[in-house]
Chain A
């Protein structure tokens, strides 16, 4: 069975839990004592990932690190509908890659600020990290505003969300733990609600579920 080296409070691990849940893929979580045990820096773990980072998967002997890379792999392999990572569309693949890189930048800023505030990563320049996250969120908010104007719900064009949405979601919705308010990003807040309503959505600690979407009123009995 697919094995995920996992830590509940990691937004990067959460990206994979989300996709696996959306796809209905069974997997086993190997819990890593990231904090306070620092197990991801232990010699044993560095033999699995020399970078000493989470997440890592082991799929029948294929060991992969890096959340974005694993999203690409899992969606390519386990999504027969081909919607989360549409391999046939060069345009979409280009756009998805662009937003996967953007998600990495969110990690480098919003996630860094969260680690600083929550887990005392004192070497991080938290003011710079917060400012960087705000710059990214301004871009994402404008992008999502115009997506809505074009009748689109997701980061990349099309009816269905892609792994770009998954990659951007966790550290965006956890940003307040790093002292980064999202009050100025209404389009991001609406996209978060839509994302939480994707069938198969699961929460992590720090992320609340959305309520049900509006449905048409049931017709009265005669």
Chain B
């Protein structure tokens, strides 16, 4: 078997979402890239998604380079290695009264960890998502809690609040909206946002990042909502509008790889979750898509 281009054992031994299941309906062979390794996938005669690595031409069946497949959260996932852990859970996905929507998969010329950090960040709302997720002069990021759960090996940022101009469809003025963020995977994150429609329950938005290489990714966006009013198109387009605003920021970050040296950039209190994320990546020894701290 040819050697992998990606030399980071942590990155190799992770599960990655590759495509929404709704995009793999027939026996057409489709191609993608994971960690610089060309991969192909299709649905076989038995109706199962099959994935394989290839060099040159993909062929039309796995041959001897079949990769493991799992179906989770409406996507199929694969890995180039042998993950010790299963894909992280999102229990809300299974709740019966939720609408689970694949919002989009976008290509971004940025590194996966830069996307995760942006996803965890609230301070940019008034400047990047102006009049949607935030509006000047309401720019304050209030104190919130960050913890790293040893048991679940994930980062949790809770009690996050941010003032939003259109907190809910029903409200005329702005209000604080509550967020909880999870980072259960070096290149995936899940956020919980207080639902305007159901007090005490949360809408869920998740990003699953598939690194093509260290500086180019495909990000898959899942929504799991309690919203009955909007149609799928409206919900998707809203999410795409938001992500489309983040994209030029992400593509204009330099260096593209996330620097893990604490002295590479300047954190402030609002960046507690990002600081925890960088430390967590350092602790795991993640080397893909990052600039490791200098010795």
A and B touch in the complex (CB under 8 A): yes
Per the 8 Å Cβ criterion, residues 114-160 of A in contact with B are: 117-120, 122
Q: Which of A19-27, A32-40, A190-198 contacts B (4 or more CB under 8 A)?
A: A32-40
- CB of A205 within 8 A of CB of B245, answer yes
* Chain A: minimal CB distance from B262 (Å): 29
* Chain B: minimal CB distance from A211 (Å): 12
Task: State how many residues of chain A have any CB contact under 8 Å with chain B.
Answer: 23
Q: What is the bound-complex CA distance between A177 and B102, given in angstroms? A: 22
- CB of A208 within 8 A of CB of B248, answer yes
Chain A residues closer than 8 Å to B175, beta-carbon distance:
none
Q: Does A63 contact B (CB under 8 A)?
A: no
Q: What is the bound-complex CA distance between A15 and B151, given in angstroms? A: 52
Contact (A205, B218) CB under 8 Å given A31-B233, A119-B107, A176-B251? no
Identify the closest chain B residue to A205 (Cβ). B244
- CB of B241 within 8 A of CB of A33, answer no
Q: What is the bound-complex CA distance between A222 and B20, given in angstroms? A: 69
The answer, among B104, B108, B242, B244, for a CB contact under 8 Å with A36, is: B104
Q: Does B93 contact A (CB under 8 A)?
A: no
Q: Does A186 contact B (CB under 8 A)?
A: no
The answer, among B107, B109, B243, B248, for a CB contact under 8 Å with A120, is: B107
- CB of A9 within 8 A of CB of B240, answer yes
- CB of B245 within 8 A of CB of A206, answer yes
Q: Does B247 contact A (CB under 8 A)?
A: yes
Chain B residues closer than 8 Å to A207, beta-carbon distance:
248
Chain B residues closer than 8 Å to A7, beta-carbon distance:
237
Q: Does B70 contact A (CB under 8 A)?
A: no
The answer, among A31, A120, A206, for a CB contact under 8 Å with B247, is: A206
Contact (A177, B23) CB under 8 Å given A36-B105, A117-B109, A120-B218? no
Chain A residues closer than 8 Å to B233, beta-carbon distance:
31-33, 37, 39
Q: Does A8 contact B (CB under 8 A)?
A: yes
Task: State how many residues of chain B have any CB contact under 8 Å with chain A.
Answer: 26
Q: What is the bound-complex CA distance between A68 and B105, given in angstroms? A: 29
- CB of B248 within 8 A of CB of A206, answer yes
* Chain A: minimal CB distance from B42 (Å): 15
Interface string of A175-188 (1 = CB under 8 A from B): 01101000000000
Contact (A31, B248) CB under 8 Å given A36-B20, A119-B107? no
Q: What is the bound-complex CA distance between A32 and B104, given in angstroms? A: 14
Q: What is the bound-complex CA distance between A162 and B142, given in angstroms? A: 46
- CB of A177 within 8 A of CB of B237, answer no
- CB of B104 within 8 A of CB of A33, answer no
Contact (A8, B244) CB under 8 Å given A33-B236, A36-B102, A119-B107? yes
- CB of B241 within 8 A of CB of A8, answer yes
Identify the closest chain B residue to A29 (Cβ). B237
Chain A residues closer than 8 Å to B108, beta-carbon distance:
118
Identify the closest chain B residue to A115 (Cβ). B107
Chain B residues closer than 8 Å to A204, beta-carbon distance:
244
Q: What is the bound-complex CA distance between A7 and B240, given in angstroms? A: 10
The answer, among A122, A205, A208, for a CB contact under 8 Å with B31, is: A122
Q: Does B106 contact A (CB under 8 A)?
A: yes
Q: Does B170 contact A (CB under 8 A)?
A: no
Per the 8 Å Cβ criterion, residues 202-219 of A in contact with B are: 204-208
- CB of A37 within 8 A of CB of B236, answer yes
Chain A residues closer than 8 Å to B243, beta-carbon distance:
205
Chain A residues closer than 8 Å to B240, beta-carbon distance:
8-9, 35, 205
Identify the closest chain A residue to B218 (Cβ). A120
Q: What is the bound-complex CA distance between A88 and B242, given in angstroms? A: 42
Q: Does B172 contact A (CB under 8 A)?
A: no
The answer, among A36, A39, A177, A205, for a CB contact under 8 Å with B241, is: A205
Q: What is the bound-complex CA distance between A207 and B242, given in angstroms? A: 12
Interface string of B229-253 (1 = CB under 8 A from A): 0001110110011111101100110
Chain A residues closer than 8 Å to B109, beta-carbon distance:
117, 177, 179
Q: What is the bound-complex CA distance between A96 and B218, given in angstroms? A: 39
Chain A residues closer than 8 Å to B236, beta-carbon distance:
33, 36-37
Chain B residues closer than 8 Å to A33, beta-carbon distance:
232-233, 236-237
Q: What is the bound-complex CA distance between A35 and B241, given in angstroms? A: 12
Interface string of B175-216 (1 = CB under 8 A from A): 000000000000000000000000000000000000000000
A-to-B contact residues, CB < 8 Å: 7-9, 31-33, 35-37, 39, 117-120, 122, 176-177, 179, 204-208
Give 3 closest A-B pairs by Cβ, nearest first.
A205-B244, A33-B233, A205-B245
Show 26 A/B contacts (Cβ-Cβ < 8 Å), sorted by A: A8-B244, A31-B234, A31-B237, A32-B233, A33-B236, A33-B237, A36-B20, A36-B23, A36-B102, A36-B104, A37-B233, A37-B236, A117-B109, A118-B107, A119-B106, A119-B107, A120-B107, A176-B252, A177-B109, A177-B247, A204-B244, A205-B241, A205-B242, A205-B245, A206-B245, A206-B247
Given contacts A37-B236, A206-B248, 14 further A-B contacts (CB under 8 A): A7-B237, A8-B244, A33-B232, A33-B236, A36-B20, A36-B236, A117-B107, A118-B107, A118-B108, A120-B105, A205-B241, A205-B244, A205-B245, A206-B247
